[in-house]
């Protein structure tokens, strides 16, 4: 079990549900990031799923208490590391990928799989940062249907410090961007799965859940728009966020109001009007 | 000198040509040109499809308005308009 101090709180869980990603910088020792970068740079071939055999130092990344705290918070205490993993080598002179979801999108609104993307080097704008469209983890859109999109007004770039990890919902739309620098950008992608035996009866909050804090911040699910889209999509998205929250809490009901209008102040009356 | 077709994909927040653009991709009829996700200095050419029409673009594909089969789900983002502009200044 992970020490509670490393678990997320309710507000951070809401933010992950809304955005579909979060960025963590666990502050690994500088020499660890550098060693992993150098070992990746010395590879003659891409080892694919065998990357841990080639660079066993990566085990230190995923066994870090802060990292485990995030994964336990999102996936439950019995999460597992998936045998598929990949070293993404974004070489100088590359062009961007197209927007895609990894794998096939499944029609559910839970967090069944989390992508952990670890960057051993600082990633600046020109080094091919990972681009993400916030909130798209709710969208049932196979990657082929994303091929005609170019830039989104609300896309974000994963420009991060060395040693950072971006945790993403498995279904979120993302892509590597072009690397116009003279340095290879490495990103190690690992997948983590929720315990498949977990059911709504056995699930309970696996983070630092506090009912009063959860109530205090619940409005975030109802009011935060992270990516401009159709108004009707936003209404649906809000319902899907609540569905995801329910799947993570086992259906804990919070005594909250969904009335965004009650108590709103009216505009001041114009004193010149008769 | 040859006339070539420039293509502009505009994804609008509603099927109305007056609604806000949320995504954009432009394809130039130039060999080896690249259309990609930019990591700096994105130039948003137009705020709406209407703005693009004023600038001489012609719509060649309108989004369909059929409601999704599953009305509680979300799928693709926005409504896709494809526009063209025929120009001859690529040589």
pLDDT in tens, chain A (274 residues): 567 999 999 999 999 999 999 999 999 999 999 999 999 999 999 999 999 999 999 999 999 999 999 999 999 999 999 999 999 999 999 999 999 999 777 778 899 999 999 999 999 999 999 999 999 999 998 899 999 999 999 999 999 999 999 999 999 999 999 999 999 999 999 999 998 776 666 789 999 999 999 999 999 999 999 999 988 999 999 999 999 999 999 988 888 887 767 778 888 877 666 5
Query: What is the rounded average pLDDT of the residues B68-77?
Result: 85
SS3 A233: helix
What pLDDT does residue A103 have? 78
H/E segment holding residue A189: strand A185-193
Tell whether B46 lies on the interface with A, counting CB pairs under 8 A.
Answer: no
What residues of chain A lie within 8 A of the CB of B11, using their CB? 149
CB spacing of A140 vs B75 below 8 angstroms: yes
CATH topology of domain A4-193: Jelly Rolls (2.60.120)
Q: Which of B42, B44, B77, B80 is nearest to B61 (CA)?
A: B80
Length of chain B: 91
Residue of chain A minimizing CA distance to B22: A153
DSSP A271: T
CB spacing of A178 vs B23 below 8 angstroms: no
Residues of chain A with a CB closer than 8 angstroms to some CB in chain B: 95-99, 107, 125-126, 128-129, 131, 133, 136, 138-141, 145-146, 148-155, 157, 175, 177-178, 227-231, 233, 236-237, 239-240
Helices (H), chain A: 10-19, 30-41, 51-54, 58-62, 65-75, 211-217, 219-223, 231-249
SS3 A103: coil
What residues of chain A lie within 8 A of the CB of B78, using their CB? 229-230
User: Measured on CA atoms in the order A7, A8, A13, A18, is the torsion positive or negative?
Assistant: negative
CB spacing of B37 vs A145 below 8 angstroms: no
At B5-60, the pLDDT tens digits run 999 999 999 999 999 999 999 999 999 999 999 998 899 999 999 999 999 999 99
Instruction: State CA B55 to chain mean position distance.
Output: 13
Domain coordinates of chain B in residue numbers?
4-87
What residues of chain A lie within 8 A of the CB of B76, using their CB? 139, 141, 145-146
What residues of chain A lie within 8 A of the CB of B9, using their CB? 148-150
What pLDDT does residue B71 have? 80
Tell whether B39 lies on the interface with A, counting CB pairs under 8 A.
Answer: yes
Q: Which of A15, A24, A92 is nearest to A62 (CA)?
A: A24
Query: Which of the residues A96, A131, A229 would you substitute to probe the B interface, choosing the one with the greatest number of B C-beta atoms within 10 Å?
Result: A229
Per the CB < 8 A criterion, the answer to whether A99 and A130 are in contact is no
Per the CB < 8 A criterion, the answer to whether A97 and A175 are in contact is yes
What residues of chain A lie within 8 A of the CB of B35, using their CB? 150
Per the CB < 8 A criterion, the answer to whether B83 and B49 are in contact is yes
Q: Which of B76, B62, B30 is nearest to A99 (CA)?
A: B76
* Distant-in-sequence, close-in-space partners of A53: CB < 8 Å, separation ≥ 6: A47
What pLDDT does residue A266 have? 86
CB spacing of B77 vs A150 below 8 angstroms: no
Integer Cα distance of A212 and A215 in angstroms: 5
Token digits for A152?
């989104």
What pLDDT does residue A201 have? 64
What pLDDT does residue A42 have? 97
What pLDDT does residue A196 have? 73
Integer Cα distance of B8 and A192 in angstroms: 39
What pLDDT does residue A273 have? 60
């Amino acid at each position: 079990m992970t020490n509670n101090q490393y678990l997320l709180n309710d507000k951070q869980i809401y933010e992950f549900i809304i955005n579909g990603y979060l960025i963590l910088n666990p502050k690994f020792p500088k020499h660890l990031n550098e060693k992993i970068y150098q070992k990746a740079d010395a590879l003659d071939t891409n080892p694919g799923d065998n990357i841990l055999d080639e660079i066993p130092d990566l085990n230190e990344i995923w066994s870090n208490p802060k990292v485990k705290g995030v994964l336990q918070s999102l996936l439950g205490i019995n999460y597992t590391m998936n045998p598929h993993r990949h070293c993404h080598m974004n070489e100088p002179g590359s062009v961007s990928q197209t927007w895609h979801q990894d794998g096939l999108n499944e029609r559910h609104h839970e967090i069944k799989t989390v992508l952990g993307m670890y960057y051993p080097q600082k990633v600046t704008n020109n080094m091919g940062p990972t681009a993400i469209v916030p909130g798209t983890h709710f969208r049932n859109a196979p990657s082929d249907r994303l091929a005609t999109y170019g830039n989104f007004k609300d896309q974000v770039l994963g420009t991060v410090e060395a040693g950072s990890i971006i945790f993403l919902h498995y279904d979120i739309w993302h892509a590597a961007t072009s690397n116009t620098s003279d340095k290879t950008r490495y990103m190690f992608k690992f997948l983590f799965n929720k315990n498949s035996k977990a059911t709504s009866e056995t699930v309970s909050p696996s983070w630092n859940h506090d009912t009063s804090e959860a109530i205090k911040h619940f409005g975030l699910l109802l009011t935060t728009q992270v990516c401009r889209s159709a108004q009707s999509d936003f209404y649906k998205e809000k319902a899907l966020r609540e569905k995801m929250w329910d799947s993570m809490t086992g259906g804990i009901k919070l005594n909250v109001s969904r009335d965004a209008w009650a108590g709103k102040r009216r505009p001041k009356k114009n004193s010149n009007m008769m | 000198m040859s006339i070539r077709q420039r293509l502009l994909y505009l994804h609008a927040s509603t099927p109305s040509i007056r609604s806000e653009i949320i995504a954009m991709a432009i394809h130039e009829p130039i060999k080896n040109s690249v259309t990609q996700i930019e990591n700096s200095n994105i130039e948003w050419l137009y705020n709406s499809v209407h703005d693009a029409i004023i600038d001489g673009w012609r719509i060649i594909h309108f989004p369909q308005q059929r409601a999704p089969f599953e009305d509680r789900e979300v799928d693709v983002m926005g409504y896709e308009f494809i526009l063209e502009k025929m120009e001859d200044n690529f040589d």
